[in-house]
Amino acid sequence: MRYIPNTPDDRREMLREIGVSSFEELLGSIPTPLRLNRQLTIPDGQSEWQVRRDLTQMAEKNLNATGHACFMGAGSYDHYVPAAVNAIASRSEFVTAYTPYQPEVAQGTLQVIFEFQSMICELYGMPVANASLYDCGTALSEAVSMARAHTKRTRIVWSEAVHPSYRRVAQTNNLALGTSFDIAHCPNGQQTMDSISMLLGDDVAALVLQYPNFYGLVDDLSQLVERAHSHGSLVIFITDPLAMGLYTSPGQLGADIVVGEGQSLGNYMSYGGPYLGLFAASNELTRLVPGRIVGITKDVDGRRGFVLTLQTREQHIRRDKATSNICTNQGLIAARATFYLSLLGPQGLKAVGEACCRRTQYLIEKLRSIPGFSIAHEGHHFREFLLRVPGDARHFYKYMADNGILAGVPLTKFGINDERGILVALTETRTKVEIDSYVSLASEYASGGSK
Amino acid sequence: MNIPSGYLYTKEHEWVKLEGDIASVGITDFAQGELGDVVFVQLPSIGSKAVQGDSFGTIEAVKAVAELYSPLSGEVVEVNSELSATPEIINREPYSSGWIVKIRPTNFEAERLNLLSPEAYKDLTSA
């Protein structure tokens, strides 16, 4: 539809049709004190190039990962996106693919989803994965309500090392259902037995753990999983798929539901979205999985075909029974993740993971020797760690950003009361030069260069 | 249509057959015919309470999903675990190996008055 503004003639005609002589008369029944009685403060129209120039200037005020060395993570990571991902994903078949309401005519779309699901199953070591959800927060929210529906219990225990934003989304979405949430503190940033097992009990629907956790630590979770299961609780893992080239899969550790953020797989940070919610579950839970699952079958002539195998009926025709209102998936972003994973292969994924770990370890060692700086947690770090800086982390962030480095995400941003804490992430794209300048700027900062 | 004698029926097309103090429950031949190919049965857990007239599970066919209503009140003592792998038994043998749950009824004599005889069920389904 074209937008056609009214001409003065159009307005006169409309007023005449209504039976008034002016716009003022039309508003006559509204008391004068209630009216604005002045023109709206909207500037005059501008040409396209003027608008573009102004917006570009505004956009240049943003600090981004192209103009700065980005050490910020906390759920969104500056991984390299191979050009081939963009080339393949820009094909019109993928870009314009709409949600398969008539699935049988969308074989290509369905095949990509099928491949995507298969890869997520393999990465997480789980038998079932859906066609994706919106982002990790909504995926966790769905996992929580699914655990509730399956166990018919209402209490959730989650560790403090679960990303605060994910927790917030899941809590908001589940509060009205009467779900209660207990947070287990992680004194050393680690999800260990001590505080978590105290909260477990026979009324707990699920224990929620993050692996690698919010602070980048890879915890040993096998005993916790066992303990939760002994109470009949499910265990929900939040796992970055990119870490799966290196570590034991959640499935092998006994997870019942695994969710994750797929942004790290061939997708950009894009100022926060669209992202990709990953969702996998055990066989027993298949029928409760939200969203859609694509399956493979044969037609009457024995030819291979893809079908929307499972879409919980409740979401369509039995809404009163529904535990989820999600009937769709994040098609293009999931397709990008599929291309990324197929381009990297298991070896490539492992190489990216190792590169992240090596860089992280290198920066950790360097920063340890700078007076006033400390690494908050001991343990094995994947790609991320909590740094404590001298003074306020926001001040440190500003100093570093002024010198071309986005130093990390201050913890206060998540409402965590740790003014010195800043979460630092290193992907495979951080060069030695960038890491070394991080270290030298930090040294300067410590020796008063910040003043 | 097969409506065997020796069974009692509900208006919602379940059957019940008491043997000793245990009642088997399933869906009728008429119901399986109307539903078509059964692909999934959601069973209650053993030990759960069944209440006459309340839903105790769902049955899913290719084109529809239906609630399963308990013909009697009591405790679920057994479920037909064969159905998880081969739900189509319900289509083949709705009154024998296609049984769904076994209930130990707590109030059979009073509740049987709410159930239909084979003749009454025949009237209902041929109407």
- What pLDDT does A103 receive? 75
Tell me which chain B residues have a C-beta less than 8 angstroms from the C-beta of A314.
Answer: 65
pLDDT at A436 over 50: yes
CB of B46 within 8 Å of a chain A CB? The answer is no
Tell me which chain B residues have a C-beta less than 8 angstroms from the C-beta of A313.
Answer: 60, 65
- For A117-163, write each residue's pLDDT tens digit: 999 999 999 999 999 999 999 999 999 999 999 999 999 999 999 99
Tell me which chain B residues have a C-beta less than 8 angstroms from the C-beta of A287.
Answer: 40, 42
Nearest-10 crossing angle of helices A331-368, A432-444: 50
The answer to whether the Cβ–Cβ distance between A287 and B42 falls below 8 Å is: yes
The answer to whether the Cβ–Cβ distance between B65 and A317 falls below 8 Å is: yes
Q: What is the mean pLDDT of residues A358-379?
A: 97
- What pLDDT does A39 receive? 86
Mapping DSSP to helix (H, G, I), strand (E, B) and coil, where does residue B51 land?
Answer: coil
pLDDT at A314 over 70: no
Question: Which domains are present in chain A?
Answer: 69-80+346-449 (3.90.1150.10), 83-340 (3.40.640.10)
Tell me which chain B residues have a C-beta less than 8 angstroms from the C-beta of A318.
Answer: 65
Tell me which chain A residues have a C-beta less than 8 angstroms from the C-beta of B87.
Answer: none
**The pair of three-digit structure tokens given for residue A447, joined into one six-digit string:** 């020796």
Q: How far is B38 from chain A (nearest CA, A)?
A: 14
Nearest CA in chain A to B41: A287
Tell me which chain B residues have a C-beta less than 8 angstroms from the C-beta of A152.
Answer: none
Q: What is the mean pLDDT of residues A335-363?
A: 98
- What pLDDT does B38 receive? 95
pLDDT at B94 over 90: yes
Q: What is the mean pLDDT of residues A237-264?
A: 98
- What pLDDT does A101 receive? 73
Nearest CA in chain B to A152: B45
- What pLDDT does A451 receive? 47
Interface test with B, best of A153, A287, A288 (most B CBs within 10 A): A287
Q: How far is B42 from chain A (nearest CA, A)?
A: 9
pLDDT at A58 over 90: yes
- What pLDDT does A98 receive? 77
What's the predicted TM-score (pTM) here? 0.86
Strand order in the sheet with A421-425: A374-375, A384-388, A421-425, A409-410
The answer to whether the Cβ–Cβ distance between A313 and B60 falls below 8 Å is: yes
CB of A318 within 8 Å of a chain B CB? The answer is yes
Interface test with B, best of A285, A288, A311, A313 (most B CBs within 10 A): A313
The answer to whether the Cβ–Cβ distance between A287 and B40 falls below 8 Å is: yes
* CB pairs A-B closer than 8 Å: 7
Across chain A, mean pLDDT equals 93
CB of B51 within 8 Å of a chain A CB? The answer is no
- For B46-73, write each residue's pLDDT tens digit: 999 999 999 999 999 887 889 999 999 9
Q: Which amino acid is at A235?
A: V
Measured CA to CA, the distance from residue B29 to residue B15 in angstroms comes to: 10
CB of A316 within 8 Å of a chain B CB? The answer is no
Tell me which chain A residues have a C-beta less than 8 angstroms from the C-beta of B42.
Answer: 287
CA angle (A388 as vertex; A247, A357 as ends), nearest 5:
25
Tell me which chain A residues have a C-beta less than 8 angstroms from the C-beta of B65.
Answer: 313-314, 317-318
Q: What is the mean pLDDT of residues A373-378?
A: 96
Q: How far is B75 from chain A (nearest CA, A)?
A: 18
Nearest CA in chain A to B61: A313
C-beta of residue B52 within 8 angstroms of C-beta of residue B71 = yes
In which band, very low, low, confident or very high, does the pLDDT at A4 lie, cut at 50, 70 and 90? Answer: confident
pLDDT at A441 over 60: yes
Question: In chain A, what percentage of residues exceed pLDDT 90?
Answer: 82
CB of A358 within 8 Å of a chain B CB? The answer is no
- What pLDDT does A304 receive? 94
CB of B42 within 8 Å of a chain A CB? The answer is yes
Tell me which chain A residues have a C-beta less than 8 angstroms from the C-beta of B40.
Answer: 287
Q: How far is B109 from chain A (nearest CA, A)?
A: 32
CB of B65 within 8 Å of a chain A CB? The answer is yes
Residues 277-306 of chain A whose Cβ lies under 8 A from any Cβ of chain B: 287
In which band, very low, low, confident or very high, does the pLDDT at B105 lie, cut at 50, 70 and 90? Answer: very high
**The pair of three-digit structure tokens given for residue A40, joined into one six-digit string:** 């709206």
pLDDT at A1 over 70: no
Q: ipTM score of the complex?
A: 0.75
pLDDT at A74 over 50: yes
- What pLDDT does A287 receive? 85
* SS3 per-residue string spanning chain A: CCCCCCCHHHHHHHHHHHCCCCHHHHCCCCCHHHCCCCCCCCCCCCCHHHHHHHHHHHHCCCCCCCCCEECCCCCCCCCCCCHHHHHHHCCHHHHCCCCCCCHHHCHHHHHHHHHHHHHHHHHHCCCEECCCECCHHHHHHHHHHHHHHHHCCCEEEEECCCCHHHHHHHHHHHHCCCCEEEEECCCCCCCCHHHHHHHCCCCEEEEEEECCCCCCECCCCHHHHHHHHHCCCEEEEECCHHHHHCCCCCCCCCCCEEEEECCCCCCCCHHHCCCCEEEEECHHHHHHCCCEEEEEEECCCCCEEEEEEEECHHHCCCHHHCCCCCCCCCHHHHHHHHHHHHHHHHHHHHHHHHHHHHHHHHHHHHHHCCCCCEECCCCCECCEEEEECCCCHHHHHHHHHHCCEECCEEHHHHCCCCCCEEEEECCCCCCHHHHHHHHHHHHHHHHHHCC
Select from A392, A268, A278 the least CA-distant residue to A329: A278
- What pLDDT does A313 receive? 55
C-beta of residue A355 within 8 angstroms of C-beta of residue A112 = no
The answer to whether the Cβ–Cβ distance between A318 and B40 falls below 8 Å is: no
Backbone angles phi, psi at B5, to 5 degrees: -80, 165
- For A88-127, write each residue's pLDDT tens digit: 999 999 998 877 777 778 899 999 999 999 999 999 999 9
In which band, very low, low, confident or very high, does the pLDDT at A7 lie, cut at 50, 70 and 90? Answer: confident
The answer to whether the Cβ–Cβ distance between B65 and A313 falls below 8 Å is: yes
